[in-house]
Amino acid sequence: MSSLAARISPPNGSVYAATKSALVSLSNAAHAELSRHGVHVTALLPGFVDTPGTAWADPAVRGAMLPASDLAEAVRFLIRTSARCYVPELMMTTAGPNVLHSLIDWDTAAT
């Protein structure tokens, strides 16, 4: 489980973004090492997910977050693909001006 932050590198979130980027790199390396043995490795990169961990967010923002059930459905999809289908990463985001957008204003989040 990585994060969309692996791709957007938000200000005031550099350490978090770096750790999530490292997970994507680890996933890619694990795929290279294990796929020849039939092991599937996928990095999930969701945007903000409405969980207890995001309880700090404004209620209006929480209402726009991805429900955790969407991530469960993504895992279900991955489990149901054929043995020949490898999905290296799966980005999941919400509606917005572009794919790599954030529901949080990172500049004001740090204050």
**Which CATH number is 10's domain given?**
3.40.50.720
Range(s) of the domain holding residue 11: 5-95
Quick check: is 54 in a domain?
Answer: yes
* pTM of the shown model: 0.84
Any domain includes 109: no
Residue 43 DSSP label: E
What length does the chain have? 111
Place of tokens 């994060």: 3
Give the strand pairing for 89-92 and 49-50: unpaired
| DSSP track, 34-75 | HGGGT----EEEES-EESGGGTTS-HHHHTTSEEHHHHHHHH
Tens of pLDDT, residue by residue over 34-91, are: 999 999 999 999 999 999 988 888 888 888 999 999 999 999 999 999 999 999 999 9
Given this model, what pLDDT does residue 8 score?
86
DSSP, collapsed to helix, strand or coil, labels residue 89 as strand
